[in-house]
Amino acid sequence: MQQPILLTPGPITTTMATKEAMLWDYGSWDGDFNQVTADICHDIAHIANAEHTHQCILMQGSGTFMVEATLASLIGKQDKALVIMNGAYGQRMATILSYLGRQYVTLDMGDYLPPKPNEVAGILDDDPDITHVVIVHCETSSGIYNPVEAVFEVVQQAGRELIIDSMSGFGALPFNAQDMPVAAIISSANKCLESVPGFAFCLVRNDLIDSMQGNAHSLSLDLYAQHTCRLKTGQWRFTPPTHSVAAARHAIQQYLAEGGQPERLAKYQRNCQVLVEGMRQLGFKTLLEDQWLSPIIVTFLAPDNEQWQFTEFYNALKQHGFIIYPGKLTEVESFRIGCIGSQSVQDYYRLLDTIANVMALELA
Ligand SMILES: *Cc1c(COP(=O)(O)O)cnc(C)c1O
């Protein structure tokens, strides 16, 4: 049977070699497995040029588990956060802070606008209690690519800390920890590093590690405890997703061998360009203006046609081996097509042919 092509923002399509790396049963206490863990932490820090500035911490579970662990461990009970949001993942960070009982305010830009750095600076000026700013790198619900560099500058100038949810950006969007010594940057194995789900990771700035002690509300999501355990024993605190960790080491080795971040970004940009141009030729419109489009995922507006039904469109594409993603917008009907994953640009040409045929049949 032909493997489906996942045009979704995680899980994503993985190579056969990455899948095959999972055909090994590691013992979680075993030295071989500890070495795999150490390799991954080293490589992730290397990818962000963070070997000298940040510690890499891994956490079992999906990306949200790590977002929750990071916010809980870094933002103390006396602290206050500013959550910048323009979509579902920004909103989710505010929800997490509510669960945690942390103080926060929001800057809500709606569905498709980036935050203005001077507006962020103004909020920080007016509210000296704000200690942390949290932002999503690429807001996967719309595809918007947020200007994190400019936001970092104003946050740093105001003497506050920045935490970035770079779940769908890390490894593809440029990020250099020496140029941007953020408090933390978060991502997971099953996005631009093109591995399978099972764990997420975070880079925490060296000088903040000790300050995390005692902050977490949760035993299992305590980043300080997770990190100290690895420093002492080389091990994960609780059962690690061994097969997923083995796959990730392989996926990261492939990533580095292929040229790392610049090459990964170039591949996704090619995919994105072919996709957007082809879809526009078929009459589809993107939600975002070109300058805010990210090469991670693209939101298309549903065609203005009464015959159109997302489920039928979805099922027709699925029959041809393509899995796409429903929209996640509050106001308008839309759907999303991902650019990340191990599929090739040829797969996008095939997708466009399939969409042209499906549209001709459906809207005839
Ligand atoms: C994928 C993603 C997450 C995490 O989602 P999970 O379903 O928990 O893996 C968080 N933030 C962003 C921006 C994402 O793209």
What's the pLDDT tens digit per position in 193-231? Answer: 999 999 999 999 999 999 999 999 999 999 999 999 999
Within 13 Å of residue 71, how many CA atoms lie on the same side as its CB?
28
pTM (predicted TM-score):
0.96
Give the integer Cα–Cα distance in Å for 75 and 97.
9
Give the integer Cα–Cα distance in Å for 13 and 341.
5
Q: Which atom of ligand 1 is nearest to the CA of 138?
A: 13
Q: Are 205 and 184 in contact (CB under 8 A)?
A: yes
Please list, in sequence order, all residues whose beta carbon lies within 8 angstroms of the beta carbon of residue 69, skipping any fewer than 6 positions away: 59, 202, 216, 218, 221, 222, 223, 226
Gap from CA of 297 to ligand 1 centroid (Å): 13
Per-residue pLDDT, averaged over 262-287, amounts to 97
Pocket test for ligand 1, best of 64, 148, 299, 340 (most atoms within 8 A of CB): 64
Q: CA triplet 221, 296, 154: central angle to 5 degrees?
A: 70
Gap from CA of 63 to ligand 1 centroid (Å): 5
Q: How would residue 143 be classed by pLDDT, with cut points 50, 70 and 90?
A: confident
Residue with CA closest to ligand 1 atom 3: 63
Gap from CA of 286 to ligand 1 centroid (Å): 22
Q: Over the stretch 39-58, which tens digit does the pLDDT of each residue have? A: 999 999 999 999 999 999 99
Q: Are 31 and 38 in contact (CB under 8 A)?
A: no
Question: Which two three-digit tokens encode residue 21?
Answer: 């790396």
Q: How would residue 324 be classed by pLDDT, with cut points 50, 70 and 90?
A: very high
Q: Which atom of ligand 1 is nearest to the CA of 65?
A: 8
Is the pLDDT at 330 greater than 70? The verdict is no
- Please indicate whether residue 302 or residue 328 has the higher confidence score (pLDDT): 302
- Please indicate whether residue 1 or residue 65 has the higher confidence score (pLDDT): 65
Q: Which residue has the tokens 């024993």?
A: 233
Gap from CA of 89 to ligand 1 centroid (Å): 7
- Nearest CA-CA partner of 196 in 243, 163, 128, 141: 243
Neighbours of 190 (CB within 10 A): 28
**Cα 175 versus chain centre, distance:** 13
Output Rg (C-alpha) for the chain, integer angstroms.
21
Is the pLDDT at 304 greater than 90? The verdict is no
Residue with CA closest to ligand 1 atom 5: 63
Q: Over the stretch 78-134, which tens digit does the pLDDT of each residue have? A: 999 999 999 999 999 999 999 999 999 999 999 889 999 999 999 999 999 999 999
Q: Which atom of ligand 1 is nearest to the CA of 168?
A: 15
Question: Which two three-digit tokens encode residue 259?
Answer: 């040229």
Gap from CA of 20 to ligand 1 centroid (Å): 25
Pocket test for ligand 1, best of 12, 60, 62, 173 (most atoms within 8 A of CB): 62
Least confident of 92-96, 172-176, 259-263, 330-334: 330-334
Ligand 1 shell residues, CB under 6 Å: 9-10, 62-64, 67, 89, 136, 140, 165, 167-168, 188
Give the integer Cα–Cα distance in Å for 284 and 49.
39
Task: State residue 362's pLDDT score.
Answer: 76
Gap from CA of 236 to ligand 1 centroid (Å): 22
Q: How would residue 248 be classed by pLDDT, with cut points 50, 70 and 90?
A: very high
DSSP string computed for 178-203 = TTS--SEEEEETTSTT---SSEEEEE
Task: State residue 258's pLDDT score.
Answer: 97
- Nearest CA-CA partner of 339 in 303, 279, 294: 294
Task: State residue 142's pLDDT score.
Answer: 85
Pocket test for ligand 1, best of 137, 140, 144, 164 (most atoms within 8 A of CB): 140
Gap from CA of 136 to ligand 1 centroid (Å): 10
Per-residue pLDDT, averaged over 340-364, amounts to 93
Give the integer Cα–Cα distance in Å for 312 and 228.
51
Please list, in sequence order, all residues whose beta carbon lies within 8 angstroms of the beta carbon of residue 175, skipping any fewer than 6 positions away: 48, 137, 164, 166, 169, 185, 261
Is the pLDDT at 307 greater than 90? The verdict is no
Read off φ and ψ for residue 58, nearest 5 degrees. -105, 150
Q: How would residue 364 be classed by pLDDT, with cut points 50, 70 and 90?
A: low
What 8-state DSSP symbol labels residue 285? -
Gap from CA of 167 to ligand 1 centroid (Å): 6
Q: What's the whole-number average pLDDT of the chain?
A: 96
Gap from CA of 88 to ligand 1 centroid (Å): 10
Pocket test for ligand 1, best of 166, 167, 299 (most atoms within 8 A of CB): 167
